[in-house]
A and B are shown apart, each in its own frame.
Chain A
Amino acid sequence: SQQGEEDPQALSIQEGENATMNCSYKTSINNLQWYRQNSGRGLVHLILIRSNEREKHSGRLRVTLDTSKKSSSLLITASRAADTASYCCATVKTSGSRLTFGEGTQLTVNP
């Protein structure tokens, strides 16, 4: 089964609104990372949160991690049309080094 599943699969909002995407996973993790992907090509790393952290900020991004619920959320505040992309989470299990990706949330920000 998939380690790292995003919710919702697709999200459409207006410019200026906040966007929240969620990620759930199944096994204990070392860290969780969020990536952005444009047009099905290379991914860009956004933010990494370690298993002993609960919240992290980077610019307009805010990530939370709840290890008891095995879930994370990515909040993009004051969204812009340029934020339109696919966002996915990736986890590193405590028992391994492989980074496993979810299928992503397609975010569309309408101008």
Chain B
Amino acid sequence: GAGVSQSPSNKVTEKGKDVELRCDPISGHTALYWYRQRLGQGLEFLIYFQGNSAPDKSGLPSDRFSAERTGESVSTLTIQRTQQEDSAVYLCASSLLTGSYNSPLHFGNGTRLTVT
């Protein structure tokens, strides 16, 4: 079946512009994560959605970052007034939680964001 889909795959934007990144999770997956990965570094947690519960936004680095998810479908990550340090690969993942957090994550191929 279809995996996690992210768009665009690459985005080049000018400093100060807003960008919107999209993630289509696997159908039926209740949990959705956004991570950021800078060049040569590990994954940095941004935000986590689980069903209709309040999202865990504790990883968002500043108020320029926001994310939304409608139900158990598409999610968008928005970065306002982009800065050069926002340049990174933004990865989305979804999982089918069983309530015991023992479900693996399925990742998309990411959006490579370059802020010039």
Contact = CB atoms under 8 A, between A and B. Distances in A.
A interface SS class:
strand
Given A41-B109, A97-B56, A103 B42 contact: yes
A84 to B, nearest CB: 16
Interface stretch (A11-19, A42-50, A63-71, A74-82): A42-50
Contacts of A99: 33, 45, 105
B41 A103 contact: yes
Interface residues of A, number: 24
A92 interface: yes
Contact of A97 (B4, B41, B42, B101): B101
B42 A45 contact: no
Interface of B: 4, 31, 33, 35, 37, 39, 41-43, 45, 48, 50, 56, 59, 89, 91, 93, 97, 100-102, 104-110
- By Cβ-Cβ distance, the 4 closest A-B pairs, closest first, are A103-B42, A45-B104, A42-B107, A101-B43
